[in-house]
Amino acid sequence: MELIPSLLLFVATFSICFFLVNSFWLWINEQRRKLQLKSNIALSIPVWTNLPRPFQCVDYHPTQSMETRQSSSKSQSLTVLSWNIERGLKLEELTQTMKELDPDILLLQEVDISCHRSGFVDEMTHFCNTLGTNGTFSAEFEELESPVRKPDNGGGGVHGNAILTKHSLLETFSVVHTEVVDWDGNGGIIYSEPRKGGRVAVGAIVGTPLGNILAYTLHLEPFCCCIQRQQQVEDVLLHANNLLKTSKHKIDCVVLGGDMNTMISGTGRLNRFLPLVSLDIPKTPRYCPNPVKPPKFWRQPSPNFLSIAGRFHHPFRGEDQCMAEFIEKSQKSKREVDPSLSLLSLQDPFRKGRGAEWTLTNYHGLFKGKLDFLMYSVDSAFELKRKQTQTFVSEDKMESDHLYLLIELQLKKNKKET
């Protein structure tokens, strides 16, 4: 019993110190933002023209014929790879690993086209020609060159997400996410990345010999709360909901993968950038229970305890577990009413306890989190044959700061017989 007062005192002291440290960082960030606005150094222009515009979906095709590649891919299963390629900074290593894995469908995040930081390479053209795949790309941001940027993060091009496949693309589309950060305003200044655009998912109906696959690749906003990231996932689920009812193509399975930035877990809760959005950009409050119509209290420009305490939402469970449960259960009631939506029965085979415990490590191993997901329809013509997570060696020897996720799907036995 004597330990209880000491424990309470420790918790109170830790909370006060934590609050003061965060308040100090917020004050420093606010002063930096004001100086940058006054000096007007964030005004910049793109280096290249004739690039894909933000939210525009652009299809790519290899320069050589795909007939040989498709004929050699007659298999009783298909593989799907999801990978955040960290802007293609190690392009040759990434390409070599993709060749070795040889997936039927690649869901890629953080793809650069003509950016300074990645050597001004058109990575979509490179991948399609080198791997011999069709592809579709949607730019999230027009990356602006500016002195605000760090030397190793030069802009000048566009940045987005992509889907590649050795099979045919029957339909391609982009899904613009609910805006939670004003990147066209001062969001780019705060995070030292002047840019124009917003978060967008890329989707495609892929025609394979085993059936048509509806695939989505996502890269959710890191500078917001778990509720807002769930809203961005809901944007995609609603799109899939409508497409399953209206598409002229028969869809046999839905696959959803990407970097969902589920940072609020483990030591990620201590990241000093987590509460900045609600305090520096009144338009996008962070820990608001109703992100559509937030009360004025959540828009306060000064530090408040709730914005900091919000990172401890579900203190005994990580955000990755909450996100997996949200996706798996969010469409359940709709599926019960409308059987045509059975393909939205998405399941994460890499959920903790089933597969990948983490897909990104940072701060010299002090943070390890499961930020990446790859889900498929369990109530579909397909079943899981195999799953694979990239083996971590060391940060300097990895192709990207994220580990890839790969699943192999096969037709269910009763479907094979018919």
| Separation CA 325–CA 226 (nearest Å) | 13
Which ranges of 181-299 would DSSP assign to H, the alpha helix? 188-190, 226-246, 276-280
Judged on CB neighbours under 10 Å (0-12, 13-18, 19+), 147 is exposed
3-417 falls under which CATH superfamily?
Endonuclease/exonuclease/phosphatase (3.60.10.10)
Tokens 């790879």, residue located: 81
Q: Which residues of 245-257 are buried (b: 16+ CB within 10 A; e: fewer)?
A: eeeeeebbbbbbb
Counting Cα atoms < 13 Å in the Cβ hemisphere of 266 gives 18
Q: What is the pLDDT of residue 342?
A: 85
Cβ atoms < 10 Å from Cβ of 176: 17
Counting Cα atoms < 13 Å in the Cβ hemisphere of 166 gives 23
Nearest-5° angle of CA 111, CA 114, CA 116?
A: 100
Q: Which residues of 73-104 are buried (b: 16+ CB within 10 A; e: fewer)?
A: eeeeebbbbbbbbbbbbbbeebbebbeeeebb
Which run of H or E residues covers position 211?
Answer: strand 211-219
Counting Cα atoms < 13 Å in the Cβ hemisphere of 263 gives 21
Torsion of CA 310, 311, 312, 314, to 10 degrees: 90
> pLDDT tens digits, the chain, 418 residues: what are they?
566 777 777 777 877 877 677 667 666 666 655 555 444 444 444 444 578 889 989 999 997 665 545 544 568 899 999 999 999 999 999 999 999 999 999 999 999 999 999 999 999 999 999 999 999 999 999 998 888 888 788 888 999 999 999 999 999 999 999 988 888 877 777 778 889 999 999 999 999 999 999 999 999 998 877 788 889 999 999 999 999 999 999 999 999 999 999 877 554 555 544 543 333 333 333 333 333 333 333 333 333 343 444 444 455 567 788 888 888 887 777 777 787 788 889 999 987 665 567 888 776 666 788 899 999 999 999 999 999 999 988 888 899 999 999 999 999 977 555 5
- Tell me the two tokens of residue 157: 């091009």
Q: What is the pLDDT of residue 67?
A: 55
Cβ 112 vs Cβ 157: under 8 Å = yes
